[in-house]
Amino acid sequence: MKKINRKDLVDLVAEEGHLSKKEARHTVDVIFDHIAEALVNGQEVNITNFGVFEPKMRKQRDGTDPKSHKRIVIKEKRSVSFRLSKQLKGNINQ
């Protein structure tokens, strides 16, 4: 299975959008920057027919240090979850 990275996305946007690679790179960067900014600000990002990026707070919990095997407290932290849209989930499972 081939992976698609940012460069591949830029190439696709340039080709399908009839843009130069510089314009396509700027477009892709702006989109990702706005998604990241919204998540940092605690906002949910809903992309129709694709899915939802949702910021979440992971609760503080007990854990074990893998090196010393001592009990430690893992502090609460923010993370992001992603839920596929029903349409995309259906397309993937066909």
- pLDDT tens string, the chain, 94 residues long: the values are 789 999 999 999 999 999 999 999 999 999 999 999 999 999 999 999 999 999 999 999 999 999 999 999 999 999 999 999 999 999 998 8
Q: Which CATH architecture has domain 48-94?
A: Irregular (4.10)
78 SS3 class: strand
Q: β-strands 71-74, 61-64: how paired?
A: antiparallel
State the Cα angle at 39 between 36 and 41, rounded to 5°: 110
Other beta carbons less than 10 A from residue 6's beta carbon: 11
Residue 12 confidence (pLDDT): 96
* Domain assignments of the chain as residue spans, ordered by start: 1-43, 48-94
Q: Could you tell me which residues come within 8 angstroms of residue 66 by beta carbon, excluding any fewer than 6 positions away?
A: none
